[in-house]
Amino acid sequence: MPNLNIIDEREEEKERDKVVVLDFGGQYSHLIVRRCRDLGVYTELIPYDIPIEELKRGIEVEEGKGKIKGIILSGSPFGIHDPGSPKCSYEILDLGIPVLGICYGAQLIAYILGGVVGEGRKAEFGRTELFFKDSELFDGLSENGRINVWMSHGDVIERLAIADIIGYTRNTPVAAFRSKDRIYGVQFHPEVHHTEKGDNILWNFLYNICGCDKNWTIESFVRDKIREIKREVGSDGRVMCGLSGGIDSSTTALLVNKAIGDRLTCIFVDNGLLRKGEKEAVLSTFRKNFKMKLVFVDAEERFLNGLRGVKDAEAKRMVIGGLFINIFEEVASKLGNVDFLAQGTIYPDRIESAKARSDSVASRIKSHHNVGALPEKLGLKLIEPIKDLYKDEVRKVAKELGMSPQILNQHPFPGPGLAARVIGEVTEDKLRICREASWIVEEELKRSRWYDRVWQAFAIVGDDVATGVLGDARSLGRIVTIRVVESKEAMTADFVKLPYDVLESMSKRITNEVKGVTWVTYAISSKPPSTIEPC
Ligand code: XMP
């Protein structure tokens, strides 16, 4: 591990090249971003209707933000001719930097350039053979000018006005094109694994066509971030950070600590809704191992009192969010002269909350209270050092910073803690069952080597009871539901088809070891329509 405490202050901060993906709502938009980042160029997803002036500023260089060297237009569930179909400023093609349109993005470019896009007559879905001509975009792909690509489109580009066809398939006469000024379009999806050499195509765009420098790595991110935090906080600024023990807040705290040492104070609140062993793990990791300044607040009683009688899921979140804010305010006023609040917001959080803001209230699903009102209430400036990262990138940063394996490898845990998994009123008894049963679920997954293969796994308990037999007597007990899901970034999720013997040992242990449980069930719905957490 590099010694991050010794960073050469004089080393000049390099501006990082970046590419932006205009999001037209396609199902693979995030994947495009991920692939480009994995190839070594910092890439951001931005709304398709971003004002053209903003893009111009980004190309001319925004201070400390890196220069935009290329633009990718994503796919979309819309067709170009659908009413209300998303369209970006047409000036996007006159900015003087390369543009790559993918699927809908390619059709939009063809349309802007005066071509003809036909509606849904020759739809093509799945793997198809692409015949391509030599071009910078397809450089080094294959000797025979053919590769298998992944198609998923209804409309087709029928004619181009001012561009050359550089690829076609049996059903799609214009599967790839190149226009003047380094404007490219591909009807297929280079970002999905099913497209052979898709990474090569993106690599060609990023490096051969846009001329980006390969400078996005986790090490460079960590180094730049530490420098940025130092600059932002200044030589005597003070920061506080709510530490939950989850990977996001832990990574945030470590980054800030590396930058400003003990001018950072972490606050760890035991709200009585933590997982088994979590309090001990957090205290020992941050106080003993990392020797960080950590204020521990035992607020179990306060939270459980606040939650008494509250049954509605959203109301529980509000109580919990409100109490967190109160406690933070109290600690901040005790600490005195705190200037900044560090928060572990990550990229998908920002996207989800942006969506939540733009959606109608009726379609808001859950309020994730951790991207909230705290900084305004406290009058603190906000630092969000990992706000551009996806979850697995956060894990890589944490590893780079020497995070303990226990925190590094644990599953995500929601801000409202076990209250998200106790349906109805949160009582001591239901909490005990949820905590103990979840512990067993995790232990059994670790024992059967499934833990690292799934996204989240836990137990849920509500108010339903069912009959059981204990010895000769019949008795009523709680129903515990096991939920184990696989997911990428939690936007969608599938229940995991666990082997029956793993489920059986979980069930046996839960009914034997957790007092008051008579039945165990397995949650077999996916997201959507369900969410991952029940409340
Ligand atoms: P849902 O249940 O909405 O959850 O499918 C998606 C992901 O977010 C986590 N989650 C939360 N995280 N505060 C958080 O920090 C919250 O209020 C919250 N609610 C859900 C959940 O565990 C899953 O990983």
* Number of helical (H) and strand (E) elements in the chain, helices listed first: 15, 20
State CA 329 to chain mean position distance: 28
Match 């096991």 to its residue by tokens: 482
* Mean pLDDT lowest among 143-152, 292-301, 347-356: 347-356
Ligand 1 pocket check for 530: Cβ under 6 Å: no
pLDDT above 60 for 367 = no
Q: How far apart are CA 95 and CA 284, in angstroms?
A: 53
Stated pTM of the model = 0.78
Between residues 153 and 55, which one has the greater pLDDT? 55
Residue from 103, 212, 266, 535 carrying the catalytic annotation: 103
Between residues 353 and 106, which one has the greater pLDDT? 106
Average pLDDT over residues 96-108: 97
Residue from 124, 191, 278, 442 carrying the catalytic annotation: 191
Q: How far apart are CA 70 and CA 514, in angstroms?
A: 57
Q: How many CB atoms lie within 10 A of CB 9?
A: 7
Task: For 200-257, write each residue's pLDDT tens digit.
Answer: 999 999 999 999 999 899 998 999 899 999 999 999 999 999 999 899 999 999 999 9
Which residue's alpha carbon is nearest to atom 6 within ligand 1?
490
CA distances from 279 to 208, 300, 439 (A): 51, 12, 14
pLDDT band at 375 (very low <50, low <70, confident <90, very high): low
Q: How far apart are CA 243 and CA 249, in angstroms?
A: 5
Q: How far apart are CA 486 and CA 495, in angstroms?
A: 6
Ligand 1 pocket check for 415: Cβ under 6 Å: yes
The pLDDT, as a whole number, for residue 208 is: 96
User: Token pair for residue 447?
Assistant: 């024992």
Residues 6 or more apart from 103 whose CB is under 8 A from it?
26, 74, 75, 76, 152, 153, 186, 187, 188, 189
Secondary structure class of 28 (helix, strand, coil): coil
- Going from the Cα of 20 to the center of ligand 1, the distance in angstroms, rounded, reads 27
Q: How far apart are CA 416 and CA 167, in angstroms?
A: 51
pLDDT above 60 for 5 = no
Task: For 265-284, write each residue's pLDDT tens digit.
Answer: 999 999 999 999 999 999 99
Q: Is 191 a catalytic residue?
A: yes
CA distances from 481 to 351, 415, 456, 517 (A): 30, 20, 14, 11
CA distances from 175 to 33, 123, 231 (A): 22, 12, 48
Cis peptide before 528 (omega within 30 of 0): yes
Which residue's alpha carbon is nearest to atom 17 within ligand 1?
368
Ligand 1 pocket check for 527: Cβ under 6 Å: yes
Q: Is 194 a catalytic residue?
A: no
* Mean pLDDT lowest among 60-69, 107-116, 182-191, 396-405: 60-69
User: Token pair for residue 209?
Assistant: 């066509």
Say if residue 6 is exposed, middle or buried (CB neighbours under 10 Å; 0-12, 13-18, 19+): exposed
The pLDDT, as a whole number, for residue 372 is: 54
CA distances from 427 to 204, 419, 440 (A): 58, 9, 20
Q: Is 489 left (phi over 0), alpha (psi -120 to 50) or beta?
A: left
Q: Is 197 left (phi over 0), alpha (psi -120 to 50) or beta?
A: left
Q: Which of 380, 370, 275 is nearest to 329 (CA)?
A: 380
Average pLDDT over residues 473-491: 91
257 close to 265: Cβ distance less than 8 angstroms:
no
Ligand 1 pocket check for 285: Cβ under 6 Å: no
Q: How far apart are CA 60 and CA 68, in angstroms?
A: 8
- Going by the DSSP 8-state scheme, the letter that residue 162 receives in this structure is S
Which residue's alpha carbon is nearest to atom 21 within ligand 1?
414
CA distances from 257 to 86, 143, 265, 292 (A): 43, 52, 9, 8
Q: How far apart are CA 465 and CA 168, in angstroms?
A: 62
Q: Is 103 a catalytic residue?
A: yes
The pLDDT, as a whole number, for residue 218 is: 92
Task: For 425-470, write each residue's pLDDT tens digit.
Answer: 999 999 999 999 999 999 999 999 999 999 999 999 999 999 999 7
Q: How far apart are CA 347 and CA 355, in angstroms?
A: 12
Domains present along the chain, CATH in parentheses: 18-209 (3.40.50.880), 218-408 (3.40.50.620), 421-522 (3.30.300.10)
Task: For 330-364, write each residue's pLDDT tens digit.
Answer: 999 999 989 999 999 998 777 666 555 554 333 34
User: Token pair for residue 354?
Assistant: 């942006």
pLDDT above 80 for 491 = no
Tell me the CA end-to-end span of the chain in Å, nearest whole number: 40
The pLDDT, as a whole number, for residue 373 is: 59
Match 């959080």 to its residue by tokens: 349
pLDDT above 70 for 62 = no
Ligand 1 pocket check for 22: Cβ under 6 Å: no
CA angle, residues 440, 445, 451, in degrees to nearest 5: 125
Highest mean pLDDT among 294-308, 378-392, 482-496: 294-308
- Going from the Cα of 97 to the center of ligand 1, the distance in angstroms, rounded, reads 39
Q: How far apart are CA 229 and CA 237, in angstroms?
A: 10
Ligand 1 pocket check for 420: Cβ under 6 Å: yes
Residues 6 or more apart from 271 whose CB is under 8 A from it?
299, 300, 303, 320, 323, 324, 417
Q: Which of 170, 210, 203, 166 is nearest to 185 (CA)?
A: 166
At residue 415, what is the residue type?
Answer: G
Q: Which of 374, 343, 376 is nearest to 253 (CA)?
A: 343
Q: How many CB atoms lie within 10 A of CB 466?
A: 12
Ligand 1 pocket check for 353: Cβ under 6 Å: no
Phi first, then psi: what are they for 127, rounded to 5°?
-75, 135
Cis peptide before 414 (omega within 30 of 0): no
* Mean pLDDT lowest among 50-59, 302-311, 485-494, 514-523: 485-494
pLDDT above 80 for 124 = no
Highest mean pLDDT among 63-67, 141-145, 315-319: 315-319
- Pocket test residue of 325, 366, 485, 487 for ligand 1, highest count of atoms within 8 A of CB: 366
Q: Which of 434, 517, 525 is nearest to 478 (CA)?
A: 517
Q: How far apart are CA 386 and CA 288, in angstroms?
A: 24
Q: How far apart are CA 200 and CA 206, in angstroms?
A: 10
